[in-house]
């Protein structure tokens, strides 16, 4: 990563390009869904110890995807806050069926 991004708007297309392969995004969706599920479970049950698992649940699947599928360095290492925001944004756009246009704008070709 040679360029330093100065805003989230600049970072977002880069983030999507770093998640170009569908299998990478699937593992991210799984991890993010697990994070949301654990957070909801902690709120509903009052078992606050579940919150300790959030970073592991979120990063475990994402980092496996980057190191084995995408073969790149997770953006979290350089842009931790923006990466977290972008992960939830990507997950939400995927859930609501609005991710494809964002990928296209970022220059990510749709692979099957």
Domain ranges of the chain: 19-105
pLDDT number for residue 104: 96
User: What is the per-residue pLDDT across 41-85, written as a single tens digit (0 to 9) for each?
Assistant: 999 999 999 999 999 999 999 999 999 999 999 999 999 999 999
pLDDT number for residue 88: 98
User: What is the per-residue pLDDT across 2-33, written as a single tens digit (0 to 9) for each?
Assistant: 679 999 999 999 999 999 999 999 999 999 99
96 DSSP 8-state letter:
T
Average per-residue pLDDT for the chain: 94
How far are the Cα atoms of 36, 56, 62, 76 from residue 106, in angstroms, in the given order? 26, 28, 20, 19
Is residue 28 within 8 Å of 61, Cβ to Cβ? yes
User: Residue 112 above 60 pLDDT?
Assistant: no
């Amino acid at each position: 990563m040679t360029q330093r991004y100065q805003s989230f708007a600049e970072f977002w297309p880069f983030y999507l390009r770093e998640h170009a392969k569908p299998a990478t995004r699937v593992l991210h969706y799984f991890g993010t869904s697990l994070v949301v599920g654990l957070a909801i479970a902690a709120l509903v049950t009052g078992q606050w110890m579940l919150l300790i698992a959030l970073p592991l649940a979120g990063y475990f699947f994402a980092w496996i995807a980057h190191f084995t599928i995408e073969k790149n360095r997770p953006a979290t290492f350089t842009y931790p806050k923006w990466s977290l925001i972008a992960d939830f944004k990507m997950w939400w756009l995927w859930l609501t069926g609005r991710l494809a246009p964002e990928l296209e704008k970022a220059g990510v070709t749709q692979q099957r």
